[in-house]
Amino acid sequence: MLRLVALFLALCAALPALAQNFPVKPIRLICPFPPAGAVDIASRAIAHEMTRLIGQPVTVENRPGAGGNVGGEAAARSAPDGYTLFMTTSGIQAINPALYAKMNYDPNRELTPVAPLVSLSNVLVLHPSVKANSVKDVIALAKAQPGRLTYASSGNGTSIHMSGAMFTQLTATDILHIPYKGSAPAVTDLLAGQVNMMFDNIPSALPHIKSGKLHALATTGVKRDPALPDLPTIAEAGVAGYESGVWFGLAAPAGTPREIIARLNAEAVKGAKAPEFVKRMTDLGYNIIAGSPEQMTDLIKAEIARWTPIVRASGAKVD
């Protein structure tokens, strides 16, 4: 018995030393969406800063599919040693559990928060061929031809999908949802006119808005977005009660030692407050929300409370 107590005390004493020496090898950051989308952009930006801060490479591995569930499951099944991180989103944590009939893992039990990083609004963008100059015009077109208009998304259950689902629910319109495996391929088809519209994350849509290749009508947040200050919110444009956005944050496999979580959080927060990161992110339309694991836990709880009834009311379900 004394030996067991001694062993336990030795292990407890070793944990702070483990965190102090951590990391001693490269860290993998799983991004659950394809390259060039908003989640990937944020993943690569924070990986760059953390590499600089911790002295070990932080490499981004794209594992897209099933609205982020493929990457999330891969992260949850990884060793809880601090050498696997996951760029999660409010959609993965709060929307997917309500949307998917079957999931191979539980993101709110098998992943542990490390640090919230950035938030952003989405923007309603149209292919120029769509004859609509306002949100009210879109609603009128949709009501005149139910099921004819289409909106693309980065996948079932993503904030882009649910922004569209909330729009059709609140406006009582029938607009066909076309899911893609990530924002980048969805935008590619939107630019080509294969789909009519999209509630895209601002960072991936912004270059095409500025070039005139996409027509922006409104943003999805509760207030006007600094990246597109001349655009009204969808609520301002006449859809009362509309509010949709997304945040991204780092998570780790459940069971990762709290001392290592604390070290990762400290470096992630430093990275998110670094001048280069702040400038790059804000120029692209992100808002910096770097904080503690506890703050990220509170964000997740708030998103679950907000999105679960919306998903259920929409009737959306993925097998």
**Superfamily for the 121-219 domain:** Periplasmic binding protein-like II (3.40.190.10)
Query: What percent of the chain has pLDDT above 90?
Result: 79
Residues 248, 95 contacting (CB under 8 angstroms): no
Residue 213 has pLDDT above 80, yes or no: yes
Residue position matching structure tokens 């696997």: 84
Residue 260 has pLDDT above 50, yes or no: yes
Q: What does the alpha-carbon distance between residue 5 and residue 316 come to, in Å, rounded to a whole number?
A: 53
Residues 55, 297 contacting (CB under 8 angstroms): no
What mean pLDDT comes out for the span 235-261? 96
Residues 225, 231 contacting (CB under 8 angstroms): yes
Question: Measured between alpha carbons, how far is residue 222 from residues 133, 234, 241 in Å?
Answer: 21, 9, 9
Of 252, 248, 250, the residue nearest 74 (C-alpha): 252
Q: Strand 197-201 to strand 150-153: parallel, antiparallel, or no bridges (unpaired)?
A: parallel
Residue 211 has pLDDT above 80, yes or no: yes
pLDDT (0 to 100) of residue 3: 56
**pLDDT tens for each residue of 77-111:** 999 999 999 999 999 999 999 999 889 999 999 99
Q: What does the alpha-carbon distance between residue 256 and residue 223 come to, in Å, rounded to a whole number?
A: 37
Confidence of residue 154 (pLDDT cuts 50, 70, 90): confident
Residue 220 has pLDDT above 80, yes or no: yes
Cβ neighbour number for residue 21 with a 10 Å cutoff: 9
**The overall pTM is greater than 0.85:** no
**pLDDT tens for each residue of 282-294:** 998 899 999 999 9
> In the CATH scheme, what is the code of domain 25-120+245-314?
3.40.190.150
Residue position matching structure tokens 């980065």: 154
Domain residue ranges in the chain: 25-120+245-314, 121-219
Domains 25-120+245-314 and 121-219 share a fold: yes
Residue 112 has pLDDT above 60, yes or no: yes
pLDDT (0 to 100) of residue 183: 87
pLDDT (0 to 100) of residue 5: 47
**pLDDT tens for each residue of 8-18:** 554 555 555 55
Confidence of residue 6 (pLDDT cuts 50, 70, 90): very low
Q: What does the alpha-carbon distance between residue 280 and residue 273 come to, in Å, rounded to a whole number?
A: 11
